[in-house]
Structure 1
C-alpha cells in the first residue's frame, strides 16, 4: 500500500488555481470494495487495451500481405530494440547507449524499447513469440529498472515530463501487454512506483521528488497534459483493479472540454493553447485527441462510459477548427510550436496523427458528431496526395476504422470552409476555391511569438511575426522546409537581417510579452481582413501589417515601418521549388529582390537530432526597406490570378488606419483608440471592419482585435439605415442627420459580429 504524507490546499489567485503542499494527507492505493461486475469491466478494458496496443488477435483476420508486413515490422522492431542490450549481470544500465539512469529521458527510452520488445514477444508469428529468453530479458530489465532507476523516492532529475507522464504511460502499456507474464506482486510495485510520481489525474508535480525537476511546483494539469495524466490514472486503475483511480482518470477528462478564455485549453473559436500562450492545435491537442479516443473506446459498454456534455465542445472544436487547420492532409506548422524542429515530424506526419486520433474519437462520439468528424477525416484522406494515409497505419483497430471511413459513401460530402480568424491564438486561415491556401501566424500581448525548450526550435525567432504559409495542393516538400529555409526570410515577416543568437528573443513569458494587442482580424466566413500591430522581439522594429484574403488571392499591406536595427526586409515568399506556380505582384514602389539559390541545412542546426545534410532549391523574394527605415511600407499580392493596380483602391495606409477596396468589399483596420474616418465609415475606437454594399443592402462584419474594450464599439456610417438582422444581441442603432450610429458589443472579445442594414 502506497502512503504519502501530503496535503493539498487550493486557493484562487489571479484567476488561476495555485496549489500548495502541506503535510497531513494520505494517498492510498485503494484496491478494496470492488464488485464482480467491476472486476469484469476492468478485465475487459485491460484485454481490449492490450489488443489495441498489439493487434495480436485481429491480425489473424487480416490478409496474408497485411499479416506478413505486420510480422516483419515487429521482427525489425524487436531486433532494433535488442541492439546495445547489456547482458552483463553487473550492468549499470539496460542498454549500453543509455547509461545515465538518473536521466528521465534515458530511463523513458529504456522503457520504450522494452515495450517494443514486449509487443514482439506476444504476437504469434514473430521471431520473438513466447521466446523464454526474451521474456526473461524483459522481466529482469523491469526489475532492474525498479530497483535502480524508477522507484518510490527517486529524484526527478531533468524534465518533469518523462518522470510523471512518459515513463508511467510506458509502464502501464508494458504491464497491459505482459500482464499474464509478470508476477502479480511485481506488477503492483511497478504500477505503485508510477503512482508515486503521478498519483492524481488533475495534478502535476505532486510527488516530493518533483522538487528536483524542471517544474517543481504542485499545479493543476491542463490541456494535452491533463489528458495524459487522466489516461495514466485510468489505465493504471483497471490494471490494479482500483476503481478510485479509474474514476479519477475518467472524471478528469471532461474538464478539458470546458472552454477557456485565457491560458491552456480549447477556446470557443477552436483555438488550442498550451504552455499558457502558444498555439498548439498541431501537437498538444493531438495528444489530447489520442488519449480521449482511447478512453472513449475502452470505456464503451462499461459502467464508466463517458457521456459528459462538455465533451461536445471538443467534438465541435474538431469539426469547426480542423476543417481549416488540416491542409492537404497535414496540419499546418503554424499551430505546432517547437515541434517543427523535430526530424521525422512534419505537417503530413502530424496530420496523420490527428486524423487517426479523431477517427478513433468518432467511434465513441454520439451523432451527429460521429458523421461530421468522419466526413472531416475523409476530406483529409482525399486531400493528401503525397501518400496514402491508411497505408501508414499499423494499429489494426485504427486501420479498420479508417478503411470504413475511406469506402463508406455517406462520408463523401463535406461543405467546404473558406476563411476563419482564430482569435484565441492569433492565427488566420483562408482556403481559396482553387488549389491555394493561406495561413498567417502572429503574436500579441496574449499569444507568444515562439517557443524554444529542451534545445528545440532554436531558430524559430520569426515564426510568429506575421508568417504567411502559402500552400498549393501538395505539402510533400514541407518535410524539408524548416532545416533548410533562411530563417531571416520567412514569408510575410518584416525583420532585421542582423544575426540572432539561438533561442533568443522569446516573447512568451509574462514580463516579456509584446505590449501590442491589436492582432487578429474580422471575417465574413469567405473573406478575411487580418491585422497585426507589430513590435519586434527587441522593440527596435515596429509597423502596421494587414492582410486582405479573398478568393484565390492574399493582399498584404504594411505601413509605418520604423527601425533602429539595421537593414530591414519584408519577405514576400521563400519557397522550395516544387513545381507549383503562384503569381506575385508588388503594387507599391519598393526595391524588390528575387534570388534563386541552393540551400543546405540539417535538423540538428535548428534543434533536431540528425546532422545529415539536406540540399534543396529555393526561390526567395523580398522587399528591401534599407537601413534603419522611417515610415516605410509595402503593398503586394500573392495568388493564382493576375492582379494589377486597377484591381484595388487604397483608402488609407497610415498609423491611423489601413483601408482597401477590392471588388465590392471594403476592409478597414482602425488602429487607434480614437475617432477616424475612412470612406463612409467613422470608428471611435480600435476596430476591424469588412463592408459589402449592394443596392440598398449594407452588410457589415466587425471585431475588436485588441480584445481589451470595456465599452461597446461605436461605428458611424454615412446614410440612414435600418437594422435587418445581426448576431449581436446587444446591438444599439440610431440615425441622426443622415448618419447611422451603431453601438456594437465587442467587449473583451475578438469574435466577428455580423450586421445587415437596409436603406
Structure 2
C-alpha cells in the first residue's frame, strides 16, 4: 500500500501561515493583504464545514437527498419537544445532568441536531433558517456552560472521551453551523467555549494536543485535531489551525514498529493492518472513524491555502484498497477487526455504509483510473451486499447526491478492488483473510504484540477466546446478519467460537467479578482506575504471551500459524504482580496452523492440553440459523456407513446445509477423531454480550462441531479441513486433489497438495525441520509451489524477531529467476538453499521464483 513517513507527511503541509520552530508548528503573522487572505481561508473553511453536515443549495434540492433532510427535521422536532418537557436539572427530558457524562454529551448532541435542521439551506422545513430556534440553541449552550460544563473542577467525571472528544465535537460543529447568529446574539460564546474545551483537554499539553499522550493517537487524534481546526476558523486563529493540521498529519504516516514516533503504535501499517488502543486490531471501528475524519478534513480544507497535496489523498486510497477492501465481504465488515464493537447491534452492513460515504468523497480528490476504481468499488459493494445501502444514513447531503451520480453513471462498471482470489496476512495486527468467489475466511490471532480481545465499559462481556484462532467463514449470498453480528455472540457459547481450543470451565464477566465495569483499586501500586494503563493491560485489552503468530502468502494461497498462550494477566498474577482479589484465568495450550487453498482451509492442531488438570474442547465450527430455516446434517463414518443427525461419532466427513439460505459447509477429518455434532435452539438476551443493548430475546438454531480432549489423555492432535459450499459427492471423494498431512506436531505442521503442486509448512521449533522435499530452519512460515519448470518459494518470520531464515528445496538444480530484496540463492546438497534476510521485516513475506536448469 502507499506509504508515507512522518517527515514526508509534514513536507506535504502547505507553508501558508506556518513555520517550524522549537520542534513545533507556530503561526506566522499575516500582515496586510495576507491577513485578508487568512480571513478568506477561515470563511471558506467554515462554509465547507457547514456544507459537509447541512448540504448546500445544489444538493438539498435533489430528490435523493429529501429523505435525509426529512430525517434531520424530524429529529430536530423531537429534540425541541424534549426541550419543552425538560424537568429540573435537565435541558432535555430524560437526560438528567450533574452526574452523568453521557447525559451531558447527549444534551450537546441534541443541540447540534437542532442547529443542523436550522442550517440546512433550501430544506423544506419550517426550521430552516429559523433564527429564534437558533438563538434557543445558543441559550442552551449558555445554560449548559453556566451550570454543568464551565466549572472544570466539577467536570471530567466518567469517560475521558466524552470530555475531550465527544462534547467538543458537538459543540464545535454547532458553533460552526450558527457562527453568524452566535457572534451577533452571544458574542462571548465562541471564545468562552473554546477556552473551556481547551481546559478539558487534560490528556494534552497546556490545552493542546500532546503527541506523546497515549490518548492522542489514531482516530482519537483525528477527532481532536479536526475539532481544533473548526475552532481555529471560528476564532480566526491561524496558529491553532496550523498546529492542528500538523498534528493530524501524523496519522497519515505508516507506522514503523522499529522506529516509533512518540511511542505510538496506533495507525496503519505497511501490510494494511490498523491498530488502535496500542494493540487492538480495529479497522472496522476506529479505523473507519479515522477514515471518515481525515476525508472530512480534506473537504473542510478544500479551496483554502491549508489544503494538502494529492500524495496524502493517495495514502488514504491505499488504506481503502489494502486495509478495508479485504475485510469487506459482500457489503459486510468482518468481525475480526471490530474490537468491543462486535457486541453492538448495528455493525456489519452499517459499518460498510460509513466507509462507502468516505470512498465517494475520496474519489472526488483523485484523478483518472484511481477515481473510477473507487467509484466502481462503490457500485460493486452496492450490487453484492445483501442489505440495501441506505444513503440517508450518510452524514453529508452533498455526498448523498454524489453517490446517486456514481450509481447513475453507466460508464462506471461495478468492480471489486480486490482480485477475485486473494489471501492477505495482516501480520502487524495478527489477522488473516482468505478470499474466494464463493466465500471468505477470516482468522483472529493474538500474540505478545496484539491483544486477545477488547472489553470495555460493559461492552463485549464474554470476549475471552476471540483471538485464540477464532475463525469466521462467510458464505456468498447469505445475509450475514443471520450468520454473524451481535446475534452470533449472543447465542453461541463464548467457549465454542469456531476454531477455538478452550478449557472446560466457567468464567465470570468483569461486572460479575467486580460489581462494576472495571477493576477498581487506586491504592495498589499499579493504580487501577477506569482509564489507567493498568486497566488497559490487565482488563480491557490484555495481550498474549506468545511470540509465534503469523504467516506467509504465495500468490492467492496462505499459511499461518499460532502458538496458544496464557494472557498477561494470568502470567503476572502468578508472579505476584497483581492484587489478591484480581481474577485471572489460565488458558488452554495448542499449536495451530491454517493452510488456505482454493476449495478448502486445512487446520492442524498439536499439543492440545487443557492445562491444570482440565479437559479441553476444540470447536471446528459453530453456525447459527433462524429457527424457521431448513437445516440438515449428513455425513459418513470411517467405515463408509451413512451418518446423519447429532451426537458423537467417528466420522470421515460431515456436511451442514441451510437450504433456506442456500449455503453449506463440509468438514473433512484428516485424522481419526470422535466428533461431537450439536444442533440446539438457544434463546438469550442481547444484553449478555453488552450491558447497554436492548433487552431483546434472540432465538436461533446453533449448530456446532467439536472434539473433546480429556485431561488424562495427554496432549492431543487434530487435523481437519473446512470445505465451503461442498456437496456430498465432493466430500465422499475427498481428498480428490491429493491433499495429505506431512507433519502435525508442536515442532512442525505441514501439508502437501498434489493438485496444486504445493507444500506449505509452519515450523515452530528451532533448527531444521523437514516437510516433504523442503527443509526449513525455523521458526518460519513457508510455501513452495511447483508449476512445470518453475518453483516459487514464499517465506515469512511469524515471530517478528529473526534476522534470517533458511529454506532448502531438494530436487533438480535450479537457477534464480527473480526474488525480493533480501533473498539469496546458494547451492545445497541435493538441491538449492534460500537465505532470506527477515531482519525488521515485521512478518512480511519474501518471495523467490526459481527455474529448473
How high is the TM-score relative to the length of structure 1? 0.89
Shifted more, 739-748 versus 535-544: the winner is 535-544
Residue number in structure 1 paired with 2:496: 489
- Alignment match of 1:697 (pick from 766, 776, 790): 790
1:198-217 correspondence to structure 2 within 5 Å: 198=201, 204-206=203-205
Mapped partners of 1:175, 1:597: distance in 2: 55
- Alignment match of 1:597 (pick from 670, 680, 701): 680
How far did 1:338 drift?
0.6
Mapped partners of 1:209, 1:312: distance in 2: 29
Deviation readout 1:452-478 (Å, 9 max, x if unpaired): 112211111111111111101232323
Do 1:258 and 1:310's aligned partners in 2 also have CA atoms closer than 8 Å? no
How many residue pairs get aligned? The number is 721
Q: Do residues 640 (structure 1) and 748 (structure 2) align?
A: no
Residue number in structure 2 paired with 1:314: 316
Q: Do residues 92 (structure 1) and 89 (structure 2) align?
A: yes
How far did 1:548 drift?
1.2
How far did 1:446 drift?
1.0
Mapped partners of 2:212, 2:144: distance in 1: 26
Shifted more, 468-477 versus 387-396: the winner is 387-396
Do 1:559 and 1:654's aligned partners in 2 also have CA atoms closer than 8 Å? yes
Shifted more, 698-707 versus 719-728: the winner is 719-728
Shifted more, 743-752 versus 147-156: the winner is 147-156
How far did 1:628 drift?
5.7
**Secondary structure at 2:603 match in 1:** strand
Do 1:277 and 1:508's aligned partners in 2 also have CA atoms closer than 8 Å? no
Residue number in structure 2 paired with 1:167: 167
**Secondary structure at 2:402 match in 1:** helix
Q: Do residues 103 (structure 1) and 100 (structure 2) align?
A: yes
Residue number in structure 2 paired with 1:9: none
Q: Do residues 196 (structure 1) and 287 (structure 2) align?
A: no
Mapped partners of 2:292, 2:712: distance in 1: 48
Deviation readout 1:648-707 (Å, 9 max, x if unpaired): 211001111001112221111111121222211222221111111233322111111111
Mapped partners of 2:834, 2:395: distance in 1: 57
Do 2:822 and 2:838's aligned partners in 1 also have CA atoms closer than 8 Å? no
Residue number in structure 1 paired with 2:37: 37
How far did 1:218 drift?
4.7
- Alignment match of 1:500 (pick from 496, 507, 519): 507
Residue number in structure 2 paired with 1:656: 747
Q: Do residues 529 (structure 1) and 530 (structure 2) align?
A: no
The change in CA–CA distance for 1:151 and 1:508 in structure 2 (over 3 A counts) is closer
Residue number in structure 1 paired with 2:457: 454
- Alignment match of 1:224 (pick from 219, 222, 238): 219
**Secondary structure at 1:107 match in 2:** helix
How far did 1:497 drift?
3.4
How far did 1:604 drift?
2.1
How high is the TM-score relative to the length of structure 2? 0.79
The change in CA–CA distance for 1:721 and 1:738 in structure 2 (over 3 A counts) is same
Residue number in structure 2 paired with 1:115: 112
Residue number in structure 2 paired with 1:18: none
How far did 1:623 drift?
1.7
The change in CA–CA distance for 1:394 and 1:655 in structure 2 (over 3 A counts) is closer
The change in CA–CA distance for 1:29 and 1:176 in structure 2 (over 3 A counts) is farther
The change in CA–CA distance for 1:126 and 1:61 in structure 2 (over 3 A counts) is closer
Do 1:528 and 1:549's aligned partners in 2 also have CA atoms closer than 8 Å? yes
In structure 1, the gaps of 5 or more residues are: 1-24
RMSD after superposition: 3.0
Do 1:605 and 1:611's aligned partners in 2 also have CA atoms closer than 8 Å? no
Q: Do residues 384 (structure 1) and 469 (structure 2) align?
A: no
Mapped partners of 1:388, 1:517: distance in 2: 41
How far did 1:430 drift?
0.7
1:606-685 correspondence to structure 2 within 5 Å: 606-607=689-690, 608-627=692-711, 629-638=713-722, 639-641=724-726, 642-643=730-731, 644-645=734-735, 647-662=738-753, 663=755, 664-685=757-778
Mapped partners of 1:238, 1:628: distance in 2: 70
Do 1:490 and 1:573's aligned partners in 2 also have CA atoms closer than 8 Å? yes
Mapped partners of 1:100, 1:497: distance in 2: 45
